[in-house]
Structure 1
Amino acid sequence: MDMKKMMKQAQQMQSKMSKMQEQLADETVDASVGGGVVTVTVNGKQEVVDIDIEPDAVDPDDAEMLEDLILAATNEAMRKVQDMVDKKMGQLTGGMNIPGMF
């Protein structure tokens, strides 16, 4: 293989990956639990950007249930965003699983 060609392809992929990382930062996914009483929004950088809690979910005598709902919604949102990132990275890499890319 031609080394110049390989280097050029690597640079092109790196450029595409940088653009994709920027795009993913702007994309979000939501996950709701408890019939929609708790909704968590996570961006493509896997940062929690919003938590919405319906007032009915706030029971001072049962804070543990609210904590569990928040955890469940956060974990589901993280799974969804990871699936989104994996799908988009798969499109970029042609389905190759390259460890450490995200």
Structure 2
Amino acid sequence: MPQMNMQQMMKQARKMQEKLAATEEKLAQTEVTASAGGGMVKVVATGDLHITSVEIAPEAVDPDDVDLLQDMVLAAVNDALTQAQQLASQQMGAITGGLNIPGLM
């Protein structure tokens, strides 16, 4: 069985590391948007799982039904984070060949 040249292996590892860093930077700049309540609550998150904005339509604010607004915000945030996580998994998986490397998204 042929052995891989250690220098060649290190070169490939550096190349993968560079691709991962570039992908992480791209994810930090890529946004996903989720909404709930028929669009009354919108949440934007980045691919590195940061919420960047929450928009609440004025008609969603009913002082007599705060629970509904809270549920809509929670649903939109969870959906945005799920989308961002899926985006990160897809892009990182394309680089790592589907390997689950600890410390990566």
- Per the TM superposition, whether the score is higher than 0.5 is yes
1:13-28 counterparts in 2 under 5 A? 13-28=16-31
1:2 is matched with 5
Query: How far apart, in 2, do the equivalents of 1:99 and 1:18 lie?
Result: 15
**In the alignment, does 2:93 pair up with 1:95?**
no
Query: How far apart, in 2, do the equivalents of 1:69 and 1:37 lie?
Result: 8
State the Cα deviation string for residues 60-96 of structure 1 (Å, max 9, x = none): 1111111111001000111001110111111111222
Q: What is the identity percentage for the equivalent residue pairs of Structure 1 and Structure 2? A: 46
State the Cα deviation string for residues 28-69 of structure 1 (Å, max 9, x = none): 001111111101000011000011111110011111111111
- Mark the structure with the bigger radius of gyration: 2
1:69-88 counterparts in 2 under 5 A? 69-88=72-91
- Normalising by structure 1, report the TM-score: 0.94
Structure 1 residues not aligned, in runs of 5+: none
Say what the alpha-carbon RMSD is for the aligned residues: 1.0
Q: Which 4+ stretches in 1 moved above 6 angstroms?
A: none
- Could you tell me how far 1:99 is from its partner in structure 2? 3.0
1:85 partner letter: A
1:101 partner letter: L
Structure 2 residues not aligned, in runs of 5+: none
Give the secondary-structure state (helix, strand or coil) at the position aligned to 1:89: helix
Query: How far apart, in 1, do the equivalents of 2:102 and 2:79 lie?
Result: 23
Query: How far apart, in 2, do the equivalents of 1:22 and 1:10 lie?
Result: 18
